[in-house]
Amino acid sequence: MVDQKLRFRRNNKRLVTGSKRKLYKKSSLLLQSKWLVFFFAVIAAGILFPKQTSEIIMSLPKLAGENAAIGEMFRSLGRAVGGEESLEVSLQNVYESVFSTEEVPAPDPESNLTAKTGQDTADIDISIVPALPENASLEYRILGFRYTSPVAGLLTSSFGWRIRPGEGETTFHYGIDLAAPEGTEIVAFADGKVFAAGESSSLGKYIILHHADGYSTLYAHCSELLVTEGAVTVGQLIARVGDTGTATGAHLHFELQYGSVYLNPVYYVAIW
């Protein structure tokens, strides 16, 4: 009799757990669908109302600092991008932070770090997490001119801190690496003029273009330079992918600058 009761409880627990998993999976898919619709709506707004959308985007950092819910939303998305948690979990956290009726308190950086590590912050060397360099920005800027991806490739190294290939040293990567077959065409990001073209031991064969409004782009590790001076137009063939200089394989190292500040080019390129 006791064995029968135990079996009944176990079977009933499995049914309840299975039902919860199915419900959670359906709600997760629905949540992801909602965020896809929101993502495409933002893109459409940027095309139809560029000025208003730009103002809203520029105000987001301030809102994140003043509104705890919005701040938590960005932190959750950041954890997904950084690989600290799955996209599904991050989307769930974003949904809860925005639509929850409960107030989300602004986190205390020190108590948060202590909770995660179990140590007092005074005993932790925070230098192990380098800050963003002053001449680098993760900001997305709406460009005031027509542009195109210089090459469509596989993203093999992102903008940010990384362990330099072959050296084991942590350095800041001021551009992105797009892997593509050697000889693949590289085109000009936008209308502009050749500022420099040459070859160095680290960059290999490279071209620097100056564009409107103080922007410039760098194309490095090329196998061949097809333009070395004069004006270029957006989409014009300027070089071919290679592995010259310090490179572990055929790819384009691409950098985007606004004045003296390096921007994250990933927003403006085509990635496989």
Fold classification of 137-271 is: Glucose Permease (Domain IIA) (2.70.70)
Residues 6+ apart with CB under 8 A from 44: none
Which residue bears the tokens 């974003």? 94
Residue 42 one-letter amino acid: V
Per-residue pLDDT of the chain (272 residues; tens, 9 = 90+): 545 544 545 555 454 445 445 544 454 454 455 555 555 665 566 566 665 555 555 554 444 444 444 455 555 555 555 555 555 555 555 555 444 443 334 334 333 333 333 444 344 344 565 889 999 999 999 999 999 999 999 999 999 998 877 667 889 999 999 999 999 999 999 999 999 999 999 999 999 999 999 999 999 999 999 999 999 999 999 999 999 999 999 999 999 999 999 999 999 999 98
Query: Do 217 and 257 meet the contact criterion of CB atoms below 8 Å apart?
Result: yes
**CA distance linking residue 232 with residue 254, whole number of Å:** 17
Q: What integer pLDDT is reported at residue 122 of this predicted model? A: 41
pLDDT of residue 78: 56
Q: Which pLDDT belongs to residue 87?
A: 56
CA separation for the pair 73, 65 (Å, rounded) = 11
What per-residue confidence (pLDDT) applies to 130? 81
Secondary structure of 214-251 as H, E, C letters: HEEEEEEEEEEECCCCCEECCCCEEEEEECCCCCCCCE
CA dist 23 → 19, 26, 35, 92 (Å): 6, 5, 19, 14
CB 150 within 8 Å of CB 217: yes
What residues does CATH 2.70.70.10 cover in the chain?
137-271
